[in-house]
Structure formats: structure tokens, C-alpha cells
Chain A
């Protein structure tokens, strides 16, 4: 009984971590290049809607996913244009992008679908062989493809950031863009690439909700997940592995909270819902001093000096 409960909580923690992983790793990439994008939640909502709508129309979740990625890319492009080219204050433009995504996704949903509908999203895809392993098989290898993708993204992002020339340029653009520029690195282009990539990943994060985990779309269905993703980037110290640790902590607390509610444990449901956020704040506060990895040029528009 206890065993089954733990397996259930672990399995659902893995599932719940999925959107956070996509969004937070995308955000980490953008931040490492020097751009703080607070619009993640808005991009997720737009990704969730387009993914859902295209799947509804075509019946193919893969097409829905592509549509969500394209939407994320265009919103990332918009953010890059505003913050990198126009050099607008990043925090404010990100909030603007969030409100834009929230409003537009609600509007489009009302115009096109209007009522609650479900789609058949990505099916469960147990990995042959591995999913037969007792306990671990159920926890790790019996999910839908977007869940596997999220976890595969962690080592992939780590490799690209730390072991490739692109990663070096990207981190340099966020740490010392003037130095990067003086060595012929196109800082503007690197930041565009990073922010657009972050947008694509946020789009996937949204789609993972609407066409993989829940298979519905509702107004403001992300409920602030995009902002938690931004917090996870700080929590994880801008490292993919750290982001993974943060996402798992957060989703585990969330899974426990859901389980407690299902069990009918007598705590007010509002309090239970609050738990993951309270824990996030506590952990972040406890690590407030540990900022050594923060990209030094985060939030600073790049412009060639004219001293």
C-alpha cells in the first residue's frame, strides 16, 4: 500500500515536472545570454492554445506540437526584437509579453473553440523492455513522449552550453558582451538565437499541458507556471542540472499535495495548493547569497561603447 502510494507520487512528480523543465531550461538559455524573459507564462499559454487547436483540427498531436513551437518561436522573436534590438527594459517588456499571451490565447480560444473540449493528444508510450522493470519501469519509462523529451533536454542543454562553441559564445554574451564583441562574436545574433530558442521551449512547455498531460485548453491554464519556471532558473543557478533538481523538488511537493487532497486529509485545500509556492520562496530565500553564477550582463541591453 505504502509502496504503491510512493510509486504513484513519484510517477506523477515526473509527469508534473515536464512543463517546468521545458520552460525553465528555455529561460535559462535566454538568461545565460543576458536576456531576462518574464513572458514565459504568456508564451506557454499561446503554445498551449495553438498546440491544442491544431491538434483539434487535424487530429495529429505532432502537428499541434510543431504549431506550438512555431508560436513560441515567433513570440521569442518578438521578445528579442523588443529587448535586444529596441533595448527596452527587459523586466517590463517580459510582463507585457505575458499579458499579451494571456489575453490573446483567451481571445483566440473564445473565438474558435469557446467551450471545454478534449483532444486526443500524445498517447502514453512505454519504452519496450525498460518499462517492464519493476517499480522503476512504472516511474520512469511509462510516460508520453513529451515527458521523455523534457528529461532528455537536461543533458542536451548541459552539453550545448558547456561543450560547444555556441554555448561558449552564449555564456560570454551574458557575462561580458563587450569582450565577446571585441572577439568578433555577434552578440545581437547570439541573444536572438537564445531568446527564440527559449520561446520554442516555452511553446513546447505549453503544449505539453494541452496535448500531452491534460489534453484540454482553458483560459489561463498555466496558472503562473511560467513564473515558477523563472524562479527555477535562479534556484538551479543557471545550470540545467540545478534546474532539474528544482523542477523535481517543486513537482514532488505538488504531487504530494495532490495526493493529500485526494486522500481527503483534513487540511484546507487553499493551504495545500500554497505549499509548493511557499517551499519555492523558502528555498530561494535560503540561497539568496549564492549568486556567483548569475550572468553579469543579465538585464543589460548590449550596445557598442562610444566612450
Chain B
């Protein structure tokens, strides 16, 4: 029997057994139009970390949501310690000792840590809350697993890393011996990732079974014991981590060879095309999001803006493209001071923008592919003549971009919203890059895209660099920043902590700057 975590009293009576082994056999789950899981077999044992690797849409989260009782499988069975079980809701899974930490945190922001942990559990005082006892138990658990947390703190006061710890606490508090983590590192700094991994290793030693969902090869290789790769809803294979390689895993994920190295020919940077001086701006919550940002990007140069999300990246992009009013400071494009200019004037000056929220800010979901492609240039010839639109010209142009940028769409008449995420991004790329921009702001350009689409987007951005565009690349993905940028700037709480040349960049140093330590 695996040791498992000590259980809170209310669970101790009901279930003494810990989970030694969970098996899923022949799981099939269909959603309208897709088979998300196709006869999937998966198992995890006490004392191991089993990674579930695959591209977006490969069916990883669906499979684990079935194990956690959030979805019902159409076929197949789940066995806990060899016995067949059926989970009708998460509550059933929790009772069987299975817990899940979701990719998007499931926390009630205006509640305290203790309230979040206690939610949904019976109180030891029946009709009155027992938050004091819950808090005491939280402190015990935190001590056991070596992290700090204040049970009385409100969730909105906590950093993302701390919020994740609350999620893990919730699961441990419920006495789970099986822990499912869905893309847990996506939101963390490198240091926080190390902290998480320490906790996970600790839990493995305590006899927990851990499922680690990810699409990041390096992390999977460093933390897991076994790796199962999913592709298109099917299991490609399960391999021991010790025998796996990056290229081998990537081939399994994508189904073909993947080139990790991107061609980056030498480009001599030209004039400063984008210059930001002492820029201040408010965030949505009425507190300053930018506190004196200084940055410049030259023609033919990619400057990567690294940082933990929420440190002013979005606001900086919005100020540059004219969607947010700066409080003070200046933005210059070429020699022109464009501070406070409206978007239309900036577009006319050769500024292109790949927004972070590509569905919300990147197009009109109900409009056709064609209309979205000319969204920015439709008031100008050749697309309009006087007050009329030139439809044949628009159609011709759209067809050309669909072909050039390999946008997979049934026709140019198809509404944008029925395209996949990768193809929506290609459409935005097509619209923005075909305008031969002087300055390109690319915010999270590959977030949520599969490996192939990611590769494509990155190649296009690099091509643009050779054509002399000055690119500001904003990304949460440090690997992306490192592989594309000429220089890397790190933003923390609305200030640039330092700028380093890409070839001299050191992950450790970048991580420290992302956590607010000034460089040098």
C-alpha cells in the first residue's frame, strides 16, 4: 500500500484505502464533429510521475477530465486498484482519492485560501463553518510539503505561483492520492517551476501517483518517470523517461520530424524604428501597469519582451498600437512622435499588430475570411473606390493570401469563427504581414497553436526580420523568446529590468529578472 497523505478526519472514516493504481481502458469520448479520445489506455501507479504529452487538441485534458468525473466516457472503463468504478461527477473522483489541478485555476477570487479549500466539504460543525480548523490543517499540510501559505489571505492578493499552491492544497486536503496537473507550468517563472517540481518530487516520495499534462518536452523529460504521448485522440506510445529523447518525443507528438533549429541569418540592424521613452500607463484596475518603460527596436531586429504574464506586457502593446492612453512618456515610430495617436493613423504609418486575444481583438468572428483579411485596408484603394467596395479585388486579394499563407478554410466566404486557432492566427499574420509593416507588435503569436502552426508562425516572423521590419515580440514562452530574438528585454511590474543580447542570455539570469531582480 502506498503511504499517501494523512487524511483529514472526515475522510478517514469513509475510506482507509489509498490508491495503488488507476487504469483507464479503451476510453472513447466523442464531441460533436470530433473524437477527442479514441480507445485510449492509460495507467498511473503510486510513487510515479506519469506525463501525458501531446499537442493542443490531442485529447490530454479530455482524458483527464474523464478520470476526474467531469466528462462521461462514451466507451471504456476506469479501474481503481483493479476494481471497476464509475465517476458521475468530480465528487465521486474526489471520494476515490483522485484530485485535479486545472489549467485555468478553479479558485473563487474574493474568497480566502481557507474558504476555497473548505468549499464543497462538509463542516465538522455541521451547520456552521469550521474555517479555523481548516486553516490549522492547511498550515500542517503546507509544512509537510515545504511551502508557505497564509490561509486567511484572499486569492486575488496572491501571485500566480501561490494560487497554484492553493490549488494543490485543495487536492491534498481532500486526501487525494492521485494528483492530475493540467499544464501546471504554463504560468510560472523558471524559479517557480523548480519550486513546483520540488513539491511534486516530494509528493512522489510520499507515495502519490501524479499525472503531469504538458506539451513542453524539456519539462516532461526532467520531471517524469514514464511518458505517454497522445496524438489526434489516440495513444502513440508509452515510454520510460530515461529512454526518451526530445526528437523522438517530438516525432511521436507531431507524426513527422520536427526542426527545432530555426534559420536565423545575420541581419545588420538598421535605424531605430520603434522608440519608447519613460512610458507610463494605467491598467484596467486603475493601478499603474507601466511605470516608465524605455525600449527601442531597430529595423531588421526582433526584441523579445519576456516576463510573467500580467506585468504590463498587454498594456505596453495596447499603448503602442493606440488602444490604451498613456499617462506620460513618448512613443516614436521612425522619426514621428505618435504618442496618443488613434489606431487608424498608426496603421497608416506602417504599424502592424498581432494581438494576444486573437479571437477578441484580431478579427470579427462572424465576418468571412475575406472580410477579415481586408479589415484594415478596406477604406483604401484598390479595395474601395469612392463610397463603394471593390468586391472582385477583395476576392482576388483574399484568395491570394489564403494560398500564400496556407490558411486552411473551406472558402473565403467561411466565417472566421469556424476556423481552427492555428488558421485564425495564419489569417491575422497574412493580414498584418502582407502590408509590409515597418513595425510589428507580435503578442503571444504562438500561444495555443500546435507544433506545426507554431513553426510556421515563427518562420514568418523571422522572414519579416530579414525584410527589415522592427519586431517587438511579446511572449510568455521563454523558449520562443530565446529562439527568435536578437535582444531580450525583461519586464516586471511595468518596468524593464534589463536588456540582454540573445546569445549572451542565461536562463537563470532571465528568471531572476522576471521575478523582479534588477540585472547587474
Q: Which residues of A contact B (CB under 8 A)?
A: 163-169, 171-172, 175-176, 178-185, 292-293, 296, 304, 306-307
C-alpha gap A119/B22 in the complex (Å): 68
Chain B 110-132 against A: per-residue CB contact (8 Å), 1 yes, 0 no? 11000110111111000111000
Chain B contacts for A172, CB-based, 8 A: 108, 111, 119-120
Judged by a CB distance under 8 angstroms, whether B106 is at the interface is yes
Judged by a CB distance under 8 angstroms, whether B170 is at the interface is yes
Chain B residue with Cβ nearest A289? B286
Chain B 80-112 against A: per-residue CB contact (8 Å), 1 yes, 0 no? 000000000111001000001010011111110
Measured CB to CB, the closest approach of chain A to B152, in angstroms, equals 15
Q: Is the CB of A183 within 8 A of B90?
A: yes
14 more CB-based (< 8 A) A-B contacts, given A184-B91, A306-B31: A163-B129, A164-B123, A164-B129, A168-B115, A168-B129, A172-B119, A176-B106, A176-B109, A179-B108, A180-B120, A182-B70, A182-B106, A183-B106, A184-B94
Chain A residue with Cβ nearest B170? A183
Q: Is the CB of B108 within 8 A of A175?
A: yes
Chain A contacts for B119, CB-based, 8 A: 168-169, 172, 179-180, 183, 185
Chain A residue with Cβ nearest B89? A184
Between B106, B108, B116, the greatest number of chain A beta carbons within 10 A of the residue's beta carbon is seen for B108
A-B contact pairs, 7 of them (CB 8 A): A165-B122, A167-B129, A172-B108, A172-B120, A183-B121, A292-B110, A296-B109
Q: Is the CB of A175 within 8 A of B109?
A: yes
Chain A contacts for B106, CB-based, 8 A: 176, 178-179, 182-183
Count, chain B residues at interface, CB 8 A: 28
Q: Is the CB of B108 within 8 A of A176?
A: yes
C-alpha gap A169/B111 in the complex (Å): 11
Q: Is the CB of A165 within 8 A of B102?
A: no
Q: Is the CB of A163 within 8 A of B102?
A: no
C-alpha gap A292/B110 in the complex (Å): 9
Chain A contacts for B91, CB-based, 8 A: 184
Q: Which residues of B contact A (CB under 8 A)?
A: 31, 61, 70, 89-91, 94, 100, 102, 105-111, 115-116, 118-123, 127-129, 170
Chain B contacts for A171, CB-based, 8 A: 108, 111
Chain B residue with Cβ nearest A306? B31
Chain B facing A: main interface SS: loop
Chain A contacts for B107, CB-based, 8 A: 176, 179
Measured CB to CB, the closest approach of chain A to B104, in angstroms, equals 8
Measured CB to CB, the closest approach of chain B to A162, in angstroms, equals 8
Q: Is the CB of A185 within 8 A of B120?
A: yes
Chain B contacts for A293, CB-based, 8 A: 110
- Please judge, given known A-B contacts A168-B119, A185-B119, whether A175 and B111 are in contact too, CB under 8 Å: yes
Q: Is the CB of B110 within 8 A of A175?
A: yes
- Please judge, given known A-B contacts A175-B109, A175-B110, A296-B109, whether A182 and B118 are in contact too, CB under 8 Å: no
C-alpha gap A293/B109 in the complex (Å): 11
Measured CB to CB, the closest approach of chain A to B26, in angstroms, equals 22
C-alpha gap A184/B61 in the complex (Å): 19
Chain B contacts for A184, CB-based, 8 A: 89-91, 94, 120
C-alpha gap A304/B127 in the complex (Å): 28
Measured CB to CB, the closest approach of chain A to B342, in angstroms, equals 26
C-alpha gap A184/B68 in the complex (Å): 11
Chain B residue with Cβ nearest A295? B110
Chain B contacts for A180, CB-based, 8 A: 108, 119-120
Q: Is the CB of B111 within 8 A of A182?
A: no
Chain B contacts for A182, CB-based, 8 A: 70, 90, 100, 102, 106
Q: Is the CB of A168 within 8 A of B118?
A: yes
Chain B contacts for A307, CB-based, 8 A: 61
Q: Is the CB of A304 within 8 A of B70?
A: yes
C-alpha gap A182/B99 in the complex (Å): 10
Chain B contacts for A296, CB-based, 8 A: 109-110
Between B106, B119, B122, B123, the greatest number of chain A beta carbons within 10 A of the residue's beta carbon is seen for B119
- Please judge, given known A-B contacts A178-B106, A182-B90, whether A169 and B120 are in contact too, CB under 8 Å: yes
Measured CB to CB, the closest approach of chain A to B120, in angstroms, equals 4
Chain A contacts for B127, CB-based, 8 A: 164-166
C-alpha gap A280/B412 in the complex (Å): 53
Name the one of B90, B115, B116 contacting A181, with C-beta atoms under 8 angstroms. Answer: B90
5 nearest CB pairs, A to B: A184-B91, A183-B120, A179-B106, A182-B106, A176-B108
Chain B contacts for A183, CB-based, 8 A: 90, 94, 106, 119-121, 170
Chain A residue with Cβ nearest B122? A165
Chain B contacts for A166, CB-based, 8 A: 127
Measured CB to CB, the closest approach of chain B to A120, in angstroms, equals 38
C-alpha gap A172/B118 in the complex (Å): 11
Measured CB to CB, the closest approach of chain B to A112, in angstroms, equals 41
Chain B residue with Cβ nearest A184? B91
Chain A contacts for B61, CB-based, 8 A: 307
Measured CB to CB, the closest approach of chain B to A166, in angstroms, equals 8
Between B31, B110, B123, the greatest number of chain A beta carbons within 10 A of the residue's beta carbon is seen for B110
Chain A residue with Cβ nearest B107? A179
Chain A contacts for B170, CB-based, 8 A: 183
C-alpha gap A166/B111 in the complex (Å): 15
Chain B contacts for A304, CB-based, 8 A: 70
Chain A contacts for B128, CB-based, 8 A: 163-164
C-alpha gap A245/B134 in the complex (Å): 33
C-alpha gap A175/B121 in the complex (Å): 18
Chain A contacts for B115, CB-based, 8 A: 168
Between A178, A182, A183, the greatest number of chain B beta carbons within 10 A of the residue's beta carbon is seen for A182
Measured CB to CB, the closest approach of chain A to B9, in angstroms, equals 16
Q: Is the CB of B90 within 8 A of A165?
A: no
Chain B residue with Cβ nearest A181? B90
C-alpha gap A163/B115 in the complex (Å): 11
Measured CB to CB, the closest approach of chain A to B408, in angstroms, equals 21
Chain A contacts for B105, CB-based, 8 A: 179
Chain A residue with Cβ nearest B106? A179
